[in-house]
Amino acid sequence: MAKKVSDAEKVSEFMEKLEHPLKKEIEAVRIIIKNANSKIAERIKWAAPSYYYKEDLVTFNPRAQDLVHLVFHHPNIEKISSPILEGNYVSRRMTYLRNMAEIEASKAEIESILNQLVDFLDA
C-alpha cells in the first residue's frame, strides 16, 4: 500500500511544479506564512497553497503573473486594520505584493494579520 501524501507534501509538490515568473516571491511569502504561527498548517485548496488553523485563513491566487496575490478569507478579517489589506468584500481582503522588496517590507504585517486571526480562533 502506498504511503499517503501529506497536505504539506502536496504543497511542496505544487511549488516544485509551479511555473510562475514570481515563483521565488511566492515561496518567500509561503515561508513567512508557515513561520508566522506554529498552529497554521498548509494544504492545497482552490488549486493553490492555502493556510488554515481550525478554519481557512489565507490562500494564494497564483493566476496573476505580475504580483503575489493573497486572499485572506476568514470572517474576522473584517475586524483587522492593516495597510496591506485591500478591498471591502464580505469576509475577504486582498493583499498584493509586487516584488521581494514589498514582501520583505510586509513580513511583519503578514505575521501580525495571521496571528490576530489565530487569536480570534482561540478566543
Decide if 35 contacts 43 (C-beta within 8 A).
no
- Write the class of the CATH domain 7-122: alpha beta
| Cell numbers representing residue 11 in the block | 504543497
pLDDT at 41: 97
**H or E element at residue 59:** strand 55-60
Structure confidence at residue 56 (pLDDT): 96
Sign of CA dihedral 80, 82, 61, 14: negative
Q: What is the predicted pLDDT for the residue at 4?
A: 85
Beta strand pairing call for 41-45 and 48-53: antiparallel
Residue 118 has pLDDT above 80, yes or no: yes
